Amino acid sequence: MFPLVVNLLSRLIPLWVVVACLNCCPAQADADPVVYVTMVSHFDRPWAMTDGDLVALEKLTRFHPRMRWTHLYNPVAYTQDTPLREAMERFVKQTRDHHAAEIGTHLHMYKSLLTAAGVKFVTHPSVTAEQVEGSRDDSGYAVPITRYSREEIGRLLEHTRKIYQERGLGQPKTFCAGFYATSLDLQNMIAAHGYTTSAAAFPTQTIYGAQYAPSWHALSGWNASVTYKSRPYRISQASILPGHEAPFINAIDKQPLVEIPQTCKIDWMVSAEDMKVIFKEHLAIARQGATTAICLAIHETSSEGNFDKFHQVLRYIDEHIHSGSQPQVKYITTAELRDRILEPN
């Protein structure tokens, strides 16, 4: 009798261990710390994009086939004359359909967009001034979205959704306002409008790269708690900044809205060397045991001018991936990164 029981147990135990393990360790592809690499395109002045800029973005896609774009596309292309609109729309859709890119949203407070959305256009304040008082931008480009009411922001987001739907661009998941300005109101509004991810947290210091004008520091919502070393984080209901606790702002999937810090600032502010050093700093973070992410960012209208810089940095990252060395490095879109960050460990 006893040997029979032992025999039965020995058959059951491995099965039990497997079942228990499946229960306690849900599918987790990245048990070891990973450095995720996101690459965002900012559509700032789509009407000023040239054929050369489009070719540069296409070349980055072709030369770095593992890289995954998160396009921060701009509905303003549909509210004023934009010569390359069809070509750029084709490009973002083509990368989505063939290179697993994501199409997110970038909004600057231009008159044509605001008028189309039924929002009254204003020119004060400007984030590019020496001081907030008396600052203005007649184009609206440098006026932060956060100076508009929740109701007005809601109209802008709804108008964006409508344009994206009409143009077959899908439901955007990642949001970034012009000059990275945000607030708790804005974060709550994007969550309510179907966004899951914010790509706005911006390093305020100059350890690597240049910084914005003094009025930006007063108006953007960011402070020294965001650095080139910041990791993605759940956005608290108490603050847009890193390091705050639950309860979090939930997206419509009932999971927290996640912030993807813009660790490498943006094209004109940083050199290829700056971006490589920041990447290496995040490799060190992963070696110490924490999964982390960097974000590279390029403007559509200066992609030809910045092509060499990004080609060089992406080649450096590609080489790390190709070598198979640790820690593991993976390209990902910002919204997929958000889902990955929220997976149970």
- The residues of the shown chain that bind Zn ion, judged by CB under 5 A, are 42, 44, 178
Which two tokens mark 205? 């210091």
Shortest CB 177 distance to Zn ion, Å: 8
Closer to Zn ion at the Cβ: 153 or 329?
153
**Beta-strand runs (E) in 241-306:** 258-259, 292-299
Whichever of 49 and 285 has its CB closer to Zn ion, that residue is 49
How many CB atoms within 10 Å of residue 213?
17
Q: How many CB atoms lie within 10 A of CB 152?
A: 19
Instruction: Write down the least CB distance from residue 140 to Zn ion, Å.
Output: 12
Residue 38's H or E segment, with its range, is strand 34-42
For residue 223, give both structure tokens.
């402070």
Minimum Å distance from CB 216 to Zn ion? 12
Select 42 or 71, whichever has its Cβ closest to Zn ion. 42
Angle between helices 85-99 and 51-63 (to 10 degrees): 10
CB of 297: closest distance to Zn ion in angstroms? 10
DSSP 278-313: HHHHHHHHHHTT--EEEEEEEEGGGTTTTHHHHHHH
Shortest Å distance, C-beta 31 to Zn ion: 37
C-alpha angle with apex 18: 15 to 22, nearest 5 degrees? 140
Residue nearest to Zn ion (CB): 44
CA 231 to chain centre: 12
Decide whether 270 or 341 has the Cβ nearer to Zn ion: 270
d(Cα 26, Cα 50) in Å, to the nearest integer?
47
Give the single-character DSSP code of 303.
T
Shortest Cβ 321–Zn ion spacing (Å): 29
